[in-house]
Structure 1
Amino acid sequence: MEEPHRRIRAAHTTSTITVYQAYRPQIGQPAAREGRFPPAWKRDRMTWVKERS
């Protein structure tokens, strides 16, 4: 089976959902190494997943 180009990766319990976000290397590598996002990361580019009522 061929790997899809895009995929939502998540884990869930009865009370939470954790969705995994991929970042380009210039953002992801420093974030993983230093435990915080580098200046290149912009909060206004974030996507929020909201509960559906």
Structure 2
Amino acid sequence: MAQTKKYKPGENCEKTAKYAEYTESGKLVNEDIDVDEGHRFPPAQQKGSYFIEQK
């Protein structure tokens, strides 16, 4: 199974899509974040948070 890519807040987005934000421990924070290719991911509320593309 392929590894799911995790994006950090402020990182450049590689693909226009909907993303979900998770805490460092893996708890879902927000599951409806639109990010366009070439734009940066939004700031996170908690340290260690990351974004994963929704399938």
Q: Is TM (by shorter chain) over 0.5? A: no
Asked which structure has the greater RCO (Cα within 8 Å, sep 6+), the reply is 2
Write 1 or 2 for the structure with the bigger share of strand. Answer: 2
**Bucket of the pairwise TM-score, normalised by the shorter protein:** under 0.3
Rg larger in structure: 1
Write 1 or 2 for the structure with the bigger share of helix. Answer: 1
